[in-house]
Amino acid sequence: MKIKVYGADLTAWVAAACLARSGNDVTIEGQNIPKDKPLYDISILRDEPGLLEQIQLQVKEGRLKRNSKTSDTADIYWLALEHGEYDQAQKLIVQLGEQTTENLLIINQCNFGVGASDQLQALLNEDANQAIVYIPNNLQEGQALQGFSQPKRIIIGSDNNWAITATRALIKPYLQNIEHLQIMSCREAEFTKFAITGMLAIRLGYINELANLADKLDVDIDTIRDGMGADPRVGSHYLSPGCGFGGQNFNQYIARFSEIFENKGHNSLLKTVITENEIQKELLFRKLWQHYQCDLTDKAVAIWGASFKPGTASIDNAPSLKIIDALLAQGVHVKVHDPEALNNLRQHYAQETRISFCDSAYSAAADCHALLLVTEWPEYWSPDYMRLLDQMHTPLIIDGRNVFDKEALEMYGFIYIGVGR
């Protein structure tokens, strides 16, 4: 199949890589990506594990091209534009409708809101089998390739039988592990996508709120969480308390969904979750501030983990940024380690002289008055405690993801502060 993918962000690249890998002839059209920019210079590709290599391979094999002539036609068009690019989507669809006389299949994965696919469909001639199919984007940063090529669940949003059959054929190679495939209207599919993302955010917001309360009531949130998770009505997914969630895709969907609620005159629960999450991102700073009695003058603080979650180099909306900003504003010397995200962080803080970007976790911790674990990369889970004790100025560990054993650390001689315990 000849497929054109429109978009410049992670969703577009992942779709292009996976569709090409399955033998399709793919072109990716991203208005912001200059064709001559080397692939390894595109940070989205570097940040997602395996993506850059896969893209390079597909380009080399000749199955993936960048920015063709716009007049070239394809069998299928794949829309993965950013949520602010609705006008461009409209223009594109009108143009595709005009230049195509035969069947036209457009897969929409954009976060344009509920009803957007129907509005785009209205620009086409459905009687002539010009159809838009909405497939919710299930992208999870850090596991994006696997998520696309071996999904457990897929929703196809369409009322058009011809389009549904054509879409099934297109995604056939990715259905080996499928547990649930559901077909519904575009509007319902769009709503479902928002509803799932919103539910996850609310669970995270709730467990964080519980953890903050546990802090004050002197109970251990881990015990509470185990108890909650054992109840099948609750389950244990998305119940890890911590210092806030980040990332680009997840946040955009939640923000957009909250807007939809607001536009319909509802005071959204999600809006509260978003606001509280921003506050939660500074939790580790507040714990540090309280520990040092509101005075961080001349302190040095280590940050372990800067990406918004393990497995990605992306720092979009990452809690680490808010913590670092707060520390810098208090005149703290910040020493950061992250296995993947240091380059992104260096660019973000290009003008800042009071940050050290450290090659090893231990060199970051050396001479520090506190160690803040912000992102739970596996390499931090079991450090050489004696070496840390030896190197740190003050053995204070503030564990933003509850990865360490509190009792063990206290036994070694650390001052341990977790989230909700």
Partner 1 sequence: MTVNQSPAWNALTEHAKDIGQSPISKLFTSDPDRFKKLSYSAANCMLDFSKQRITQTTIEGLINLAEQQNLQQKIEALFKGDIVNPSENRPALHTALRQPEKESLIVNGTDISAEIHHSLVQMESLVDQIHNGQWRGYDGSPIKHVVNIGVGGSDLGPLMTCRALSQFAPTNIRHIDLHFVSSMDGSQLAQLLDRIDPPSTLFIVSSKSFSTIDTLANSNTAREWLINASGMSIELISQHHFIGITASPKKAAEWGIPEKNQLHFWDWTGGRYSMWSVIGMAIALKVGNSNFREFLAGANTMDSHFREAPLAENLPVLLAMIGIWNINFQDIHAHAILPYDGRLAHLPAYLEQLEMESNGKNVTLNGHSVDYATCPILWGEVGPNAQHAFYQLLHQGTESVMCDFIAPALRYQDQGEELQQQHQLALANCLAQSRLLALGDSMLDNAENSPIHKRYTGNQPSTTIMLDQLSPLSFGALIALYEHKVYVQSAIWEINPFDQWGVELGKQVATSLLNDFENTNNTNNDSSTDGLIRFVLQQRQTARNKEDATQDHVSQTGKESNQ
Out of 195, 329, 386, 408, name the contact with partner 1 by CB under 8 A. Answer: 329
Provide the minimum distance between the beta carbon of 186 and partner 1 in the complex, in angstroms, as a whole number. Answer: 34
Provide the minimum distance between the beta carbon of 143 and partner 1 in the complex, in angstroms, as a whole number. Answer: 33
Out of 101, 293, 297, 353, name the contact with partner 1 by CB under 8 A. Answer: 293
Provide the minimum distance between the beta carbon of 290 and partner 1 in the complex, in angstroms, as a whole number. Answer: 6
Binding residues: 35, 141, 193, 238-242, 246, 309
| CB-nearer residue toward partner 1: 176 or 293 | 293
Give yes or no for residue 255 binding partner 1 (CB under 8 A).
no
Q: For the chain, how many residues are written? A: 421
| CB-nearer residue toward partner 1: 148 or 292 | 292
Provide the minimum distance between the beta carbon of 219 and partner 1 in the complex, in angstroms, as a whole number. Answer: 20
Binding residues for NAD(+): 35, 141
Site string for partner 1, 12-51 (x = CB under 8 A): ----------------------------------------
| CB-nearer residue toward partner 1: 68 or 290 | 290
3-state secondary structure the chain: CEEEEECCCHHHHHHHHHHHHCCCEEEEECCCCCCCCCHHHCHHHHHCCCHHHHHHHHHHHCCEEECCCCCCCCCEEEECCCCCCHHHHHHHHHHHHHHCCCCEEEEECCCCCCCHHHHHHCCCCHHHCEEEEECCCCCCCCCHHHHHHCCCEEEEECCCHHHHHHHHHHHHHHCCCCCEEEEECHHHHHHHHHHHHHHHHHHHHHHHHHHHHHHHHCCCHHHHHHHHHHCCCCCCCCCCCCCCCCCCHHHHHHHHHHHHHHHCCCCCHHHHHHHHHHHHCCHHHHHHHHHCCCCCCCCEEEEECCCCCCCCCCCCCCHHHHHHHHHHHCCCEEEEECCCCHHHHHHHCCCCCCEEECCCHHHHHCCCCEEEECCCCHHHCCCCHHHHHHHCCCCEEEECCCCCCHHHHHHHCCEEECCCC
Give yes or no for residue 213 binding partner 1 (CB under 8 A).
no
| CB-nearer residue toward partner 1: 260 or 326 | 326
Give yes or no for residue 369 binding partner 1 (CB under 8 A).
no
Out of 206, 261, 289, 357, name the contact with partner 1 by CB under 8 A. Answer: 289
| CB-nearer residue toward partner 1: 114 or 296 | 296
Out of 294, 297, 359, 407, name the contact with partner 1 by CB under 8 A. Answer: 294
Query: How many positions of this chain bind partner 1 (CB under 8 A)?
Result: 14
Mark the segment that binds partner 1 (CB under 8 A) among 72-80, 121-129, 164-172, 277-285.
277-285
Here the tokens at position 187 are 């509007």
Out of 103, 143, 330, 363, name the contact with partner 1 by CB under 8 A. Answer: 330
Give yes or no for residue 331 binding partner 1 (CB under 8 A).
no
Contacts with partner 1 by CB under 8 A lie at 279, 282, 285-290, 293-294, 325-326, 329-330
